[in-house]
Every structure is written in structure tokens, then in C-alpha cells.
Structure 1
């Protein structure tokens, strides 16, 4: 049985959008789980970090609510209305603007991490500028969608939509490369500690490449197909950004536990952790051990740490003999 006239119109954009919204809502569930895990595991994190996480969660919930409202109104309330199927409203355009705002919040957060680790302001400026270009172009795309309205004429928005997607992809790749190269360069030379560093590098690359791959797929499908296939990636990438941040935050517990267990066993290729700290101090004075960013773990502080007080392990503190040298992760 062939599609009706309304079905053919809906197949072009409403169908792919519905699939993308399913993905969007599914990832919202993952986000809620990760946020709950974060607040339970890190009650002593700085207040600004907790507020940042809460802002991301609220943004995700509002985004999903607008998306569900749009698809319900289009496919249910406006059932049989071809004009509603072929045109956009403010609920539809809110997806583009919120995608840009969310990506800016996440990318600027990673820019802060780069500044804490590398102290390279020129690199931070490049990341922030590319993020701002991406976010502002996304908001501009949303405004353009509200003006054009007709889905068949959306190709006229290429002049602002493509800079949005390209700059967003470049920003993600730059963040992943900057962090992974820095961590790789500052390995300690001790097997167990380097294993933890390698895990952080893999996590950084995976998070950056996952969001970048979705934006690349968005670009390719947007240019290659006149249909709305690209909307699947557009709806999904918003939640991937927030989930990547929460994944990084929650991974701190695993990393600090790994380092603490090793410290208590006092074994690392024949050297205990206290020897590692004292040796590291003399051989590699440029390496520090701490989590100054959202992924940082303090393995060598005293029992109180004003920034990450809940990340201190008493066993590791004893074995480190109060050493204060830090490794920024």
C-alpha cells in the first residue's frame, strides 16, 4: 500500500525527527541517571559545579519537553493538516537554538579544563571562539527557521547552518586533541599511574570523537539528502554533549579508587606510591597530581582539600606521607 499525500509529506521530515526525538528522550534518561549518581557520589564538590550540572539537566529536560510537544502537536493535534506537516513553528526551531546553547556550555567547560591544565591562553581563546561561532550560528539558524518556516526551503539556510556544524565539529576535535596530547606528554613513567592516565585519555578522546562524529554525520546527511535524515543526528547530539560531561565527572570515583588501592598496596613495579611521589619530585618537577578540573583526583593531599574534599582517600594520604605534589587530570 502506497503512502497517502500526508504520509509522503511526513516522511520527509517528521519521520526522521520522530526517530531523533526517541533517541533524544532515551539519552535524557541516561542523563538523569548520571546526574543522580553525581550528586550521591560527590556531595562536597564546589557549589558552582553542582549548579552547572543542575543547569545542564534543566536544559536537557526543557529541550526534550519542547521536542515532544512539537512532534505531538504535528502528528496528533494537526493530523491530516498538510500545512502543519510542511512548516515549522517555534517549538521546532527551539531545537536548533538549544543545541547551540548546550554545546557552548559544554565546550566552554572543556575550555576551562584546558586552561587549568595547560595554561595556554591562545588555545583556550581558539576553543572559546569556535564554540561561540557555533552557538551563535545555531541560534541564527533557529531564527532563520522561524522566518522561512517552509521545510522545502530550508536549503537557503546553508549560509548559516554549515558554519554552525563545521565550527562545532572543529571545536570538539580541538578539545579532544589538546587534552589527550597534554596528558600523553605528562605521563609519569610508572605503570599503574600511567594506566589511569591512559584511561583518562581514552575517555577524553571517546567523548570528543562521539560528539564530533554526530556533527559530521549531520553535515554529510544535510548536504547529501534533501530529506530530513539529518534531524536524527541533530536531536541526538544535544544529549551526547551533556552526557559526555557527566561521564567525565562520574569517572573520577573510579580513577581515585584505582590510585588509592594501588597506594595502599605500596606496589608499582617495585616502587611504592610514596617512593613514586618523592622520585617524581626530583625527576619530573613539572608533573603535578590533582584533579583541578571536573575529572581531577587528589591522591596526595592531606585530609582536607578545599576544592575536592570528598575525593581524598585516608589510606592514600597515609602512604603518601602528606605529599602535596599533584597531577592535573
Structure 2
């Protein structure tokens, strides 16, 4: 299979895909390999969630398993597309100028998954700081997430009418809007979370609180930077190299990065019941790795209203232990409710 000269389209900067297996099939093969690797990580994340949060709210469970099912479908569609190009149509030069029906489905699945995760982070931003600016940022994030997902769906449906390179070049601005919207939304989410946490840190005067906020900021930057960098590279390659499939290697794994980032956030919470009793030993076992000292006194610059928070599981271990302690008896000795809590804190492992 020899290289063919790219056919020029109406725009001098946009060329039709080169008939070259290394630039047409290679990125799809690499993207599919990494796609399965991140799928294994996601399965472990979901398993840990089921083990740690069996009594989570129904809406949260529905969101977790809905995203997991969508990611499974996206993995299956991506594998079929890789099979179609590299095995089923091996040696067929004309097949590289078209594509299978799963080529169209993959952007729809990826746009839907990313929109759900981005909207989830928008609600987290609104819950962390209930003031005007965070609410406006949350609304803007939701609008951008829905816009990029809608652009991916419309572009894919229009491409399904004619799976040709000429039609893809005609729809190039619409798919560029999808990738650009996804990139800008990720930047806005990461910047908003870092800003809120950094503002809370500047108003806190407790060293333990500063240490915890530093870890949260670092975790936000790590998870946010991965999606931002990957989305930015996919956007740049799609705009720059219209005659090559380089962007496929990054577009394939974006759905996995969003879902793994979402599950990492879910699993970082403190379980509702962090204490388990062992009858044989007669002691309490602390399940959560976080201690009371780590979370004691942690509060943002504005109090959080957990009654309206969709994820009200973020609570300190002291509060969770207090819920499982019997009410102190009212008598005339010097034991008070505060003493009970202090004893609970001193005996927790």
C-alpha cells in the first residue's frame, strides 16, 4: 500500500486523508490499546466504589453506573472501528477514505460522557461556594458542556449521511467546535476549583486545614490537567492535520479520562459508616485513612449547605462517629457530651 498525494479540497489548508496506513490506521490502533488499558483502571475504580459506598444515594448510584455503561459501549464501538480498519479492510485502499458506522458513534459517546462528568463538576463548584460568581461559573460550565455534546451529536449524525472525506471536511468546523468546547470547559472547571480551594486556604488559620486544602488543590490540578492537556492536543491535531488521523489517539481515551477522574473524586470521599465493630477483639476499626485530626476544623470560607448538596457524604469522621454513639445519660456526674466525643476520638484507630 503506497502513499498517495493528498487531494486538495476547497480550502487550501484542509486536505483529504492520506492513503497511508501509518497515519490513517496507526493512531486508531494506539488509541484503542490505551482505551482498553484505562478501561481496566475504571473497572477497579467502580469495584472500589461498590465496596466503600454500598449505601450511597440512589441518584449517585445511577450516575455512576450510567457512566460505566456508556464507557463500556464506547470501548466496544472503538474496538469495532479498529477491527474494521486494520483487519476487516486490510489492503483496501478505498476503505481508508470512508469508515464504519462505529466511526460516527464514537464522537457521540465521548461527547455524552464528557458532558455528564462536566455537569457533575459544575454542581460541585456550586456546592462548595454558594455565592454569585461560583453560581455563574457553574451555569457557564453547564451551557458549554451541553453545547459541545450537542455539536458532537449533530456533526456525527450529519456525517452518517455520507461517510466520505469530503463530507468530513465540510463538517470540520462543527467538530472543531466540539473539541474546542470540551477543552475550554475543562480549563474553566479546573481553574474554578483551584480558585475556590485557594480562597478557602487564604481565609483559614488552622495548619491542619491548610494541609488538607493543599492536598485537595494538588489532586484537582492533577486530575484536571490530564483532561485539559489531552483535549488540547486532540483539538490541535484535528485542526492542524486534516490529512492524518493523529487526533484519534487522544480522542479515543478522553472518555476514559473523564470517567476515571469522576470515579477518583467519588472514591476520595469519607464513607458514611467509617467504623466497624469487631466482636472477637472488642475494638473499633477505622476504615477511612483520614483521621479526625486531618479533618478537624475544616470549613470553607462560607458554610456548606449539605441538605441541598447532591453528594452529602463529605463529612468529617468525628461527625460520623458521633452519629453512632449513644446519647449520654443525664445524671449529676461530670461526664458531658463533649467528653464522650473526646473519648471516641482518642480510642478510634
User: TM over 0.5: same fold?
Assistant: yes
- Among 155, 158, 162, the alignment partner of 1:144 is 158
For the residues of structure 1 that align with 2:199 and 2:344, how far apart are their CA atoms?
Answer: 27
Aligned to 1:178: 192
State the alpha-carbon separation in 1 of the partners of residues 156 and 205 from structure 2: 50
- Please give the root-mean-square deviation of Cα atoms over the aligned residues, in Å: 3.1
Equivalent of 2:79, from 36, 61, 68? 68
Match of 1:98 in 2: 109
Task: Confirm or deny that 1:28 pairs with 2:39.
Answer: yes
Gaps (5+ residues) in structure 1? Answer: 264-272, 306-316, 323-329
2:82 maps to 1:59: no
Structure 2 vs 1, CA of residues 30 and 302 (structure 1 numbering), >3 Å: closer, same or farther? closer
In structure 2, the residue matched to 1:126 is 140
For 2:301 and 2:245, how far apart are their aligned partners in 1? 54
Q: Equivalent residue for 2:93?
A: 82
Gap change, CA 1:295 and 1:38, over 3 Å in 2: farther
Cα offset for 1:174?
Answer: 0.9
Distance 2:128 2:223 in 1: 18
Distance 1:105 1:320 in 2: 43
The Cα offsets for residues 130-175 of structure 1, whole Å up to 9 and x where unpaired, read as 1111101111221233234123653322220111111111111111
Q: CA distance change for structure 1 residues 294 and 194 in 2, over 3 Å: closer, same or farther?
A: farther
Question: Bigger radius of gyration, 1 or 2?
Answer: 2
Measured in 2, the distance between the counterparts of 1:186 and 1:290 equals 17
- The DSSP-based 3-state class of the residue aligned with 1:257 is coil
Check whether the contact 1:86–1:151 (CA below 8 A) recurs between aligned residues.
yes
Distance 1:193 1:180, change over 3 A: same
Aligned match for 1:219, one of 231, 235, 244: 235
Q: Measure how far apart 1:178 and its partner are.
A: 1.2
Give structure 2 stretches of 5+ with no counterpart. 5-17, 272-286, 324-339
TM-score, length basis structure 2: 0.75
Which position in structure 2 is the counterpart of 1:314?
Answer: none
Q: State whether residues 248 and 294 of structure 1, in contact with CA within 8 Å, keep that contact through their aligned partners in structure 2.
A: no
Higher helix share: 1
Q: Equivalences for 1:245-260 in 2 at 5 Å? A: 245-253=262-270, 257-260=289-292
- Out of 106, 115, 127, the position equivalent to 1:116 is 127
